[in-house]
Homo-oligomer: A and B are copies of this chain.
Amino acid sequence: MAFRPLHDRVLVRRVEEDTKTAGGIIIPDTAKEKPQQGEVVAVGTGTRGENGDVTPLDVREGDRILFGKWSGTEVKLDGEDLLIMKESDILGIVA
């Protein structure tokens, strides 16, 4: 079942942080308010300016992202727990 986020919202699947320490891996540290990793599942059409112009979002489907621990609203789609958040909650893209 497809879900199209509205405007500047993004649908995100949480990605459990791997524990291996080989190069390029983030070590989980749930104790502190560590940002969370996730993968972008779907993106809204974009941010709407005051005059109605739409600016596409910077993040794309498939991007691996970091977002603040408490960002987004939990939703269950097709039995899977996902998150809906605003693009402004996203800190950056993990290449």
Q: Chain B contacts of A68 at CB under 8 A?
A: 73
Query: Is the beta-carbon distance between A73 and B35 smaller than 8 angstroms?
Result: yes
In whole Å, how far is A24's beta carbon from the nearest beta carbon of chain B? Answer: 4
Cβ 8 A contact of A52, one of B6, B47, B92: B47
| B49–A50 CB distance below 8 A | yes
Residues of B within 8 A of A12 (CB): none
**Cβ 8 A contact of A95, one of B4, B29, B58, B66:** B4
- In A5-36, the 8 Å CB interface with B consists of 5-7, 9, 11, 21, 23-27, 29, 32-35
Closest residue of B by beta carbon distance from A56: B52
The answer to whether B51 and A21 have CB atoms under 8 Å apart is no
CB pair A6 B90 closer than 8 Å: yes
* Contact residues in B for A53 (Cβ distance below 8 Å): 51-52
**A37–chain B nearest beta-carbon distance, Å:** 10
A52-95 CB mask vs B (1 if < 8 Å, else 0) is 11010011000000101000011111110000100110111111
